[in-house]
């Protein structure tokens, strides 16, 4: 390990960001090398200086924050989120209904009862496709609404 390599690593080493073998090898070199040690001392001095410049927040900060907070009242969840929470379960149910309807219709179709034959007599291929797309969209909406509800509930916890 030469000085150039060591000095490139000193910024990390002095911050405790070098671990394991490499740390040991750097420490070994530093123990034997005066110029590298001098540079390490510079980093240590910087850290001490910065630590010494630390300030303490006075009571004024707490007072200003709390005055404002008391005016604001209890933290409220925003109206859009509240209304979403209220609407989301309903939307889930509403969107799930067409899915249920499709399920029932399909079951009827396969059962080939006279009632089902009458029901599907006028249904074309295009009808079936558009019904399928509509139901798919409703299903996605249901999933989305369920996800929103879950997320909103999660945010409260």
Partner 1 sequence: MLAIRNPLSPEASLVARTRRGDAGAFEALVRQHKDSVLNLARRMVADCDAAEDIAQEAFIKAYRELHRFRGESAFATWLYRITINEARLYLRGHQRRVARWERQRDLAAAEASAQSPTDDPAPLTELLQELSADQREALALFHLKELSLEEIARTLGAPLGTVKARLSRGRERLRQLARERGLA
Residues that bind partner 1 (CB under 8 A): 11-12, 14-15, 17, 39, 42-43, 45-47, 49-51, 53-57, 61-62, 64-66, 68-70, 72-78, 81, 154-157
Choose the one of partner 1, Zn ion, none that binds residue 33, judging by a C-beta under 5 to 8 angstroms depending on kind. Zn ion
Long-range CB contacts (within 8 A, 24+) of 88-97 = 88/145, 88/146, 88/148, 88/149, 88/152, 89/145, 89/149, 91/141, 91/142, 91/145, 92/142, 92/145, 92/146, 92/149, 95/138, 95/139, 95/141, 95/142, 95/145, 96/138, 96/142
Say whether residue 40 binds Zn ion (CB under 5 A): no
Give 93 or 155: the residue with its C-beta nearer to partner 1.
Answer: 155
Shortest Cβ 49–partner 1 spacing (Å)? 5
Shortest Cβ 152–partner 1 spacing (Å)? 9
Per-position x/- string for 19-38, each x denoting binding to Zn ion as judged by CB under 5 A, each - no binding: --------------x--x--
As given in the structure block, the two tokens for residue 44 are 């240590």
Shortest Cβ 21–partner 1 spacing (Å)? 17
Nearest 10 degrees: CA dihedral of 10, 14, 20, 21? 30
Question: Where does this chain bind Zn ion (CB under 5 A)?
Answer: 3, 33, 36
């Amino acid at each position: 390990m030469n000085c150039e390599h060591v000095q490139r690593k000193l910024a990390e080493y002095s911050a405790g960001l070098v671990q394991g073998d490499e740390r040991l090898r750097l420490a070994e070199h530093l123990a034997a090398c005066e110029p590298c040690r001098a540079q390490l001392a510079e980093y240590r001095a910087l850290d001490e200086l910065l630590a010494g410049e630390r300030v303490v927040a006075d009571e004024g900060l707490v007072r200003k924050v709390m005055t404002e907070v008391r005016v604001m009242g209890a933290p409220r969840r925003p109206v859009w989120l509240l209304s979403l929470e209220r609407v989301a379960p309903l939307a889930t149910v509403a969107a799930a209904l067409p899915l249920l309807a499709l399920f029932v219709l399909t079951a009827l179709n396969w059962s080939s009862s006279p009632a089902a034959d009458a029901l599907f007599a006028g249904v074309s291929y295009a009808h079936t496709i558009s019904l399928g797309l509509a139901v798919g969209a409703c299903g996605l909406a249901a999933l989305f609404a369920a996800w929103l509800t879950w997320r909103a509930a999660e945010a409260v916890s």
